Amino acid sequence: MDAADEIVPVLACQDVRKTFGSSVVLDGLTLDVGEHEVVALIGASGSGKSTLLRCVNLLAEIDDGTVRLDGEDITDPKADADLVRRKIGLVFQSYNLFPHMTVLDNITLAPIKVHGRPGAEAKAQAMEWLQRVGLADKAGSYPDRLSGGQQQRVAIVRALVNSPRLLLLDEVTSALDPELVGEVLTMIRDLKSDGMTMVLATHEMGFARQVADRVAFLDAGRVLEQGPPAQVLGDPVEARTRQFLARII
């Protein structure tokens, strides 16, 4: 295959190193994510999952290595961080909606104020998404009128309204009551059917098995093992992966 035929991954993390003081949190981490691929990050608490997602979204600066989006080095100081964040959506465990703003304003704030998009266009697109996820009637409501599951779905819509190339989801069901987890997982499954490229940190092994194309096990700031969910979760190669799974399943 010559160079021109090479498929460029949507996300390519190469030898990424991230330290906080003397602690090395990402220790030469390498991970590629292809177009339309869904990669589940699993690993013990403290293994670096959130830090990786934050580094990819440029909320934290890496010490060494490269992160490429569609082949472009986004950790280059000359990269436009606002543009990168428009292309990479990140949703956290706690939904972080602004309590004093309506659902619609929560969704359109960044597109209008940060990315300078026309208000009418941003609002129309927000309404389209809210309709798709069955929350159109909540557009004028304040977050405290919504269930946790609805709030988290709004937070995901907020990340989608910029039509990102890549969606990062960090334990998005961990703060929810068990009966509200399903509606959020269904939304993620629908996004996968739509072809959205996603990286999701999760403790929901059953969901990782169902929705992920690939599972990557993080250990001490590296990808220790990765592969199809059935293999990594069902028949892991590494002893540390087996120990982790034995503890949580």
Residues engaged in binding ligand ADP (CB under 6 A): 20, 25, 43, 45-51
50 lies in the binding site for Mg ion (CB under 5 A): yes
Report, in Å, the least distance between residue 50 CB and Mg ion. 3
Closest CB to Mg ion among 50 and 125? Answer: 50
Report, in Å, the least distance between residue 87 CB and ligand ADP. 22
47 lies in the binding site for Mg ion (CB under 5 A): no
Q: Which of Mg ion, ligand ADP, none sits in contact with 197, Cβ below 5 to 8 A by type? A: none
Closest CB to Mg ion among 51 and 108? Answer: 51
Euclidean distance between CA atoms 82 and 114, whole angstroms: 8
Q: Which of Mg ion, ligand ADP, none sits in contact with 173, Cβ below 5 to 8 A by type? A: none
Euclidean distance between CA atoms 41 and 202, whole angstroms: 6
Q: Which of Mg ion, ligand ADP, none sits in contact with 47, Cβ below 5 to 8 A by type? A: ligand ADP
Q: Which of Mg ion, ligand ADP, none sits in contact with 20, Cβ below 5 to 8 A by type? A: ligand ADP
Closest CB to ligand ADP among 24 and 112? Answer: 24
Closest CB to ligand ADP among 44 and 112? Answer: 44
173 lies in the binding site for Mg ion (CB under 5 A): no
